[in-house]
Amino acid sequence: MGRLDNKVAIVTGGAKGLGQAIAEMFASEGARVIAADMGELTYSAKNVFGYHLNVTDVKGVQAFYDDVVAKFGKVDILVNNAGITRDAMTRKMTDDQWNQVIDVNLKGVFNMTRLFGPLMETNGYGSIINISSVVGVYGNIGQANYAATKAGVLGLTMTWAKEFARKGANVRCNAIAPGYIMTDILKTIPQDLLDGFAKLTMLGRLGQPVEIANAALFLASEESSYITAQTINVNGGMRL
């Protein structure tokens, strides 16, 4: 018996990094997982199905929705994980840097949830998990665009927890705010800065993708059945 037997899950940005760890863990617990990503899957796992999707493409998201409903009939779990960084100090940040990050990290989350949230509401069941960041909770130098989106995602989380449950559906919406986790997204950050971030945690180290996947599994499963509108900080006790 898996904790997600008979469940259908979508993980955006599921081709690598945190999305991969979440998709693999959900599949190992019995779910059928659609890993929706702009890029090709960098791995293969039983019951993880790759789907080419850009979450900023409104028509593409609608076509994806239609395909998923036709093929799977329902969606129980949506993990809004796709995200990018385009870092710069505020006075040097270009319109492109601002717009790209808002488009993927905030509008992309909205594009997905405005379709799959109501589907869950109609079906009477669902768990939506938004991937925020420690940067959305505390802010960070050089990441005004990213911090705005990751704080924005927390507002969306509380709003959707209210909206999709208001008529009695068992639909929950929670966020995970990871600290610094070893994936490609950290590639542009110099090692001395990463060492500094590790020292800012109480545990004295950066995190591993599986440690985020464990929190996602908890929020996706019935073990969190009375938890909604919450943010789980998975950051080793970090304050920025």
Residue from 7, 10, 11, 12 in contact with ligand NAD (CB under 6 A): 12
Applying CB under 6 A, among 11, 22, 129, 181 the residue interacting with ligand NAD is 181
Q: With left for phi above 0 and alpha for psi between -120 and 50, is residue 239 left, alpha or beta?
A: beta
Take residue 46 and report the two structure tokens written for it.
């039983």
- Using CB under 6 A as the binding rule, the residues of this chain from 98 to 157 that contact ligand NAD are 104, 108, 131, 133
CA separation, residue 34 to residues 11, 40, 50, 132, 141 (Å):
6, 13, 6, 20, 35
* Contact status, residue 103 vs residue 56, Cβ threshold 8 Å: yes
User: Does position 200 bind ligand NAD by CB under 6 A?
Assistant: no
- Decide whether 37 or 76 has the Cβ nearer to ligand NAD: 37
Query: Which CB sits closer to ligand NAD, 183 or 221?
Result: 183
Q: Which of 54, 127, 174, 201 is in the footprint of ligand NAD by CB under 6 A?
A: 54
For 24, residues 6+ apart whose C-beta sits below 8 A from its C-beta are: 43, 45, 48, 213
Is 146 an active-site residue? yes
For ligand NAD, give the closer residue by CB, 170 or 230: 230
Q: Is 220 in the site for ligand NAD (CB under 6 A)?
A: no
Return the number of the residue (146 or 164) whose C-beta is nearest ligand NAD. Answer: 146
Least CB distance to ligand NAD at residue 232 (A):
12
**What does the alpha-carbon distance between residue 156 and residue 25 come to, in Å, rounded to a whole number?**
25
Kindly state the tokens that stand for 188: 């542009």
Task: Mention every residue, 6+ apart, whose C-beta is less than 8 A from residue 15.
Answer: 35, 37, 38, 39, 40, 41, 42, 50
Coil, helix or strand for 63?
A: helix
Residue among 121 and 132 whose Cβ is closer to ligand NAD: 132
Q: Identify the DSSP state of 43.
A: S
Q: Kindly state the number of chain residues that form the binding site for ligand NAD, as judged by CB under 6 A.
A: 29
Catalytic annotation, pick one of 65, 125, 138, 146:
146
Which residues of the shown chain bind ligand NAD in the complex (CB under 6 A)? 12-13, 15-19, 37-39, 53-56, 81-84, 104, 108, 131, 133, 178, 180-181, 183-186
Annotated catalytic residues are: 146
